[in-house]
C-alpha cells in the first residue's frame, strides 16, 4: 500500500448508537491521560522555586521528579494486572482518587519529605490509572473509525503532554505559586472521577493472582539504586552507605528475577526478555529516557538561574525540543518503512550524542540561542528517530495474550530508566557543584548524558539485528508485522 494512498470508502451517513455518550467517555479518559503525562513535567519549571521554598539541596531536589517516576514505573505492571482482575474502570477510578489526593497533599507540603511523599502517592495513583486508559478508550469507541480516532488522540496527548506540562507549570508558577502546579490536578481529578461512571463502561474481569512480591521488588530495587546514586557525591563511592545501598538494590532485583521465573502470573513474562532485539531495544529506551529527563532537570535551572528566565519563559524555552519531536514524528513511519528500525536508531543515537556533547559547552556568558536552542532541537529530532523504531521492535512478535505485558514492560522501562538516569547524572552534577553557582558541574553532567546516548548507539550497533527496510509498509502496524516476520 502506498504511503500517500487516500481512503476511498464513503463516510458513514449515520452515527452509531450512543455515539455522543461514547465521545464523552473518550474525552473524559483522555483528560485523565493528559493529567498523568503532564504531571511528569509540570513541576520541572517550578524546581528553583520549590528549592527556595522548602530548602532542597542540588541532588535531593531531583527526588521531586524521581519520587513520581519511581512509584509510577515500579507499580505500573501491578496496576495493569489489577485492572485485568477487578475491572479497568474500577481500578482507573481508584488510581485517579489516589493521584488527586497526592496532588492535594503536595500542594500543602511544608517540608521536602512531605512533598516527596506526596509525589510518591501521585506516582502510585498514576500507576493504577494509566494501564487502564488504552483499554477504556478502545471499549468506549462505538466502531473501528472511532477507535482509530481515539488512539490517534491518545498518541497526540501522550506526546504533547510533556510540552504542555512545562508551559502550564511555568504559567501557574508565574501568576501564582509552584503549589498550583499540584493543586490544578484536584478539580480536574474530581471531575473525571465523578463523570467516568456515567459515560465509560466497565471492562470484563479475568480471574487470576497478583505478583505483589515482584511489584515490591521492582520498586524497592529501583528506589535503593536511585537513593544510593544520589547520595554518592556526599558520602563517596566507597562508603558503607553506598555499598549497602547497591547491595540491597541488586538483591531486590535478583528477587524480582527469581519471582518472575516461578510465579504463575508474573508481572513480566519471561518469554518477553528472551528475545535479543527486544532486550536491546528496552536498553536503548532506558538510556534515551535517562538522558532526556536529566536535560529537563538541568536546563530548567540553567535558563532561570543563569539566563534570568521566568518560569513561563523557561517552559517556552523547551519548545525546540518538543517541536523537533513533533516535526520528525510526522515522517518517522515513512523513514521506518524505507530504512528499517536499526538504521534509524543508529542515526538517532549518534545525533543524540552530538546534541548532549553540544549542551556540555554551556557557560555563564552564553545566550539561549547560542547555547540551548540548537542542541535542544537536535535532541528532539534524535528522540523522535529513536522512539518509534524502539517501540516497534519491543512490540513485534508478541503473542496477543502478552501484548499488554509487553506494552507495560516498555512503559516501565521508560519510567525507571528515566529515574535511574536522572539519579546518575544529578549525582555527577552535585559532585562538581559550587555553592551559589549553577554552571560548575553542568558540563560533566551533560557529558554523562552524552555518554548515555553513546551507549544507546553502541547497544544498537552490537545487539540489534533487525536490518531489512520495510518498503511500502503504509502503516506502523504493517511495519510491526514485517519486523516480526523478519525476527521470526
| Total residue length of the chain | 488
Q: What's the burial of 460, exposed, middle or buried (CB within 10 Å: 0-12/13-18/19+)?
A: buried
Q: Are 422 and 293 in contact (CB under 8 A)?
A: yes
Give the residue-averaged pLDDT of 405-430.
Answer: 82
pLDDT at 310 over 70: yes
- Helices (H) and strands (E) counted in the chain, each on its own, are 20, 0
- CATH code of the domain containing 108: 1.20.1250.20
Q: How many other CB atoms are there within 10 angstroms of residue 276's CB atom?
A: 12
Claim to verify: residue 358 and residue 449 sit in the same structural domain: yes
pLDDT tens, residue by residue, 364-376: 889 999 889 999 9
Claim to verify: residue 253 and residue 368 sit in the same structural domain: no
Q: Classify residue 314: in a domain, yes or no.
A: yes
Claim to verify: residue 355 and residue 272 sit in the same structural domain: yes
pLDDT at 12 over 50: no
Please tell me what DSSP assigns to residue 372: I
User: Which domain covers residue 148, as residue numbers?
Assistant: 20-202
Q: Classify residue 139: in a domain, yes or no.
A: yes
- For 152-217, what is the HEC assignment? HHHHHHHHHHHHHHHHHHHHHHHHCCCCHHHHCHHHHHHHHHHHHHHHCCCCCCCCCCCCHHHHHH
Q: What is the pLDDT of residue 155?
A: 63
Per-residue confidence at 183, pLDDT binned at 50, 70, 90? Answer: very high
Q: What is the pLDDT of residue 379?
A: 93
The CA distance from 311 to 47, in Å, is 9
pLDDT tens, residue by residue, 210-238: 677 887 888 788 888 888 887 777 777 78
Q: What is the pLDDT of residue 479?
A: 47
Quick one: which of 2, 3, 121, 134 has its CA closest to 72? 121
pLDDT tens, residue by residue, 350-362: 999 999 999 999 9
The CA distance from 182 to 192, in Å, is 16
Claim to verify: residue 352 and residue 308 sit in the same structural domain: yes
Compute the Cα dihedral for 179, 180, 185, 186 and give only its sign: positive
Q: Are 31 and 192 in contact (CB under 8 A)?
A: yes
Q: Classify residue 103: in a domain, yes or no.
A: yes
Claim to verify: residue 155 and residue 76 sit in the same structural domain: yes
Give the residue-averaged pLDDT of 116-133.
Answer: 89
Q: For the chain, how are helix, strand and coil distributed in percent, rounded to 5? A: 75, 0, 25
Quick one: which of 215, 398, 388, 360 has its CA closest to 285? 388
Give the residue-averaged pLDDT of 116-130.
Answer: 91
**DSSP-based three-state secondary structure for 60:** helix
Comparing 140 with 261, which gets the higher pLDDT? 261
The CA distance from 472 to 72, in Å, is 38
Give the residue-averaged pLDDT of 99-116.
Answer: 94
Q: Classify residue 454: in a domain, yes or no.
A: yes
Claim to verify: residue 380 and residue 487 sit in the same structural domain: yes
Q: What is the pLDDT of residue 231?
A: 78
Q: What is the pLDDT of residue 100?
A: 95
Distances (CA, A) of 263 to 78, 211, 288, 410: 13, 7, 31, 20
pLDDT at 206 over 50: yes
What value does the mean pLDDT of the chain take? 81
Taking CA 31 as the corner, what is the angle to CA 12 and CA 284, rounded to the nearest 5 degrees? 100
Q: What is the pLDDT of residue 143?
A: 66
Comparing 273 with 385, which gets the higher pLDDT? 385
Q: Are 83 and 18 in contact (CB under 8 A)?
A: no
Comparing 257 with 161, which gets the higher pLDDT? 257
Per-residue confidence at 159, pLDDT binned at 50, 70, 90? Answer: low
DSSP lists the bridge partners of residue 434 as 437
Claim to verify: residue 239 and residue 276 sit in the same structural domain: no
Longest CA–CA span in the chain (Å) reads 72
pLDDT at 270 over 50: yes
Q: Classify residue 1: in a domain, yes or no.
A: no
Among residues 202, 227, 254, the one where a domain terminates is 202
Q: Classify residue 2: in a domain, yes or no.
A: no
Q: Classify residue 197: in a domain, yes or no.
A: yes
The CA distance from 241 to 252, in Å, is 17
Claim to verify: residue 187 and residue 291 sit in the same structural domain: no
Per-residue confidence at 485, pLDDT binned at 50, 70, 90? Answer: very low
Claim to verify: residue 188 and residue 228 sit in the same structural domain: no
Claim to verify: residue 115 and residue 154 sit in the same structural domain: yes
Per-residue confidence at 430, pLDDT binned at 50, 70, 90? Answer: confident
pLDDT at 182 over 60: yes
Residues in CB range of 386: below 8 A, 6 or more apart:
284, 285, 288, 344, 345, 348, 349, 352, 456
Please tell me what DSSP assigns to residue 397: T
Question: Could you tell me what percent of the chain has a pLDDT over 70?
Answer: 84
Q: What is the pLDDT of residue 471?
A: 45
pTM: 0.78
Q: Are 70 and 40 in contact (CB under 8 A)?
A: no
Among residues 174, 202, 230, the one where a domain terminates is 202
pLDDT tens, residue by residue, 314-346: 889 988 988 888 888 888 888 888 888 999 999
Q: What is the pLDDT of residue 469?
A: 52
> How many domains is the chain partitioned into structurally?
3
Per-residue confidence at 117, pLDDT binned at 50, 70, 90? Answer: very high
DSSP lists the bridge partners of residue 437 as 434
Quick one: which of 76, 78, 50 has its CA closest to 63? 50
Least confident of 159-173, 319-333, 355-369, 473-487: 473-487
Q: Classify residue 14: in a domain, yes or no.
A: no
Among residues 246, 264, 282, the one where a domain terminates is 264
Q: How many other CB atoms are there within 10 angstroms of residue 45's CB atom?
A: 36
Claim to verify: residue 92 and residue 119 sit in the same structural domain: yes
Distances (CA, A) of 454 to 19, 387, 417, 447, 448: 49, 16, 15, 10, 10
Claim to verify: residue 432 and residue 456 sit in the same structural domain: yes
Q: What is the pLDDT of residue 283?
A: 93
Q: Phi then psi for 308, rounded to 5 degrees? A: 80, 20
Amino acid at each position: 500500500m502506498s504511503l500517500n494512498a487516500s481512503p476511498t470508502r464513503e463516510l458513514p451517513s449515520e452515527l452509531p448508537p450512543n455515539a455522543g455518550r461514547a465521545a464523552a467517555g473518550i474525552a473524559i479518559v483522555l483528560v485523565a491521560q493528559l493529567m498523568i503525562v503532564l504531571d511528569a513535567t509540570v513541576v520541572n519549571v517550578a524546581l528553583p522555586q520549590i528549592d527556595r521554598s522548602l530548602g532542597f539541596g542540588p541532588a535531593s531536589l531531583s527526588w521531586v521528579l524521581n519520587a513520581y517516576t519511581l512509584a509510577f514505573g515500579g507499580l505500573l505492571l501491578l496496576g495493569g494486572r489489577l485492572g485485568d482482575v477487578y475491572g479497568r474502570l474500577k481500578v482507573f477510578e481508584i488510581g485517579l482518587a489516589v493521584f488527586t489526593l497526592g496532588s492535594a497533599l503536595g500542594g500543602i507540603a511544608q517540608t521536602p519529605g512531605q512533598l516527596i511523599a506526596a509525589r510518591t502517592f501521585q506516582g502510585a495513583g498514576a500507576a493504577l490509572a494509566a494501564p487502564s486508559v488504552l483499554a477504556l478508550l478502545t471499549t468506549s469507541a462505538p466502531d473501528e473509525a472511532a477507535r482509530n480516532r481515539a488512539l490517534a488522540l491518545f498518541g497526540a496527548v501522550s506526546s504533547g503532554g510533556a510540552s504542555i506540562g512545562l508551559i502550564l507549570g511555568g504559567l501557574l508558577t508565574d501568576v501564582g505559586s509552584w503549589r498550583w502546579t499540584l493543586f490544578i490536578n484536584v478539580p480536574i481529578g474530581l471531575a473525571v472521577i465523578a463523570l467516568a461512571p456515567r459515560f465509560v463502561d466497565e471492562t470484563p474481569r479475568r480471574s487470576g493472582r497478583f505478583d505483589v512480591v515482584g511489584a515490591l521488588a521492582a520498586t524497592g530495587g529501583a528506589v535503593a539504586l536511585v537513593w544510593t546514586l544520589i547520595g554518592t557525591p556526599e558520602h563517596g563511592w566507597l562508603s558503607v552507605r553506598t555499598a549497602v545501598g547497591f547491595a540491597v538494590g541488586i538483591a531486590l532485583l535478583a528477587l524480582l528475577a527469581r519471582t518472575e521465573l516461578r510465579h504463575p502470573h508474573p508481572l513480566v513474562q519471561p518469554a518477553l526478555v528472551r528475545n535479543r532485539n527486544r532486550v536491546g531495544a528496552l536498553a536503548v529506551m532506558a538510556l534515551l529516557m535517562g538522558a532526556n529527563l536529566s536535560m529537563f532537570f538541568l536546563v530548567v535551572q540553567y535558563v532561570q538561574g543563569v539566563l534570568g528566565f521566568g518560569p513561563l519563559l523557561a517552559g517556552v524555552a523547551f519548545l525546540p525540543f518538543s517541536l523537533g519531536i513533533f516535526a520528525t514524528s510526522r515522517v518517522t513511519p515513512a523513514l521506518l518503512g524505507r530504512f528499517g528500525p536499526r538504521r534509524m536508531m543508529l542515526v538517532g543515537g549518534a545525533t543524540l550524542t552530538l546534541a548532549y556533547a553540544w549542551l556540555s559547552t554551556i557557560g555563564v556568558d552564553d545566550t539561549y540561542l547560542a547555547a540551548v536552542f540548537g542542541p535542544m532541537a537536535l535532541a528532539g529530532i534524535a528522540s523522535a528517530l529513536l522512539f518509534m523504531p524502539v517501540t516497534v521492535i519491543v512490540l513485534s512478535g508478541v503473542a496477543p495474550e502478552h501484548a499488554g505485558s509487553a506494552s507495560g514492560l516498555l512503559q516501565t522501562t521508560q519510567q525507571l530508566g528515566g529515574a535511574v538516569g536522572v539519579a546518575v547524572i544529578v549525582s555527577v552534577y552535585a559532585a562538581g557543584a559550587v555553592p551559589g553557582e549553577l554552571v560548575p558541574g553542568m558540563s560533566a553532567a551533560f557529558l554523562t548524558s552524552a555518554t548515555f546516548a553513546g551507549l544507546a548507539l553502541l547497544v544498537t550497533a552490537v545487539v540489534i539485528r533487525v536490518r531489512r527496510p520495510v518498503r511500502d509498509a503504509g502503516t506502523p502496524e504493517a511495519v510491526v508485522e514485517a519486523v516480526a516476520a523478519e525476527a521470526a
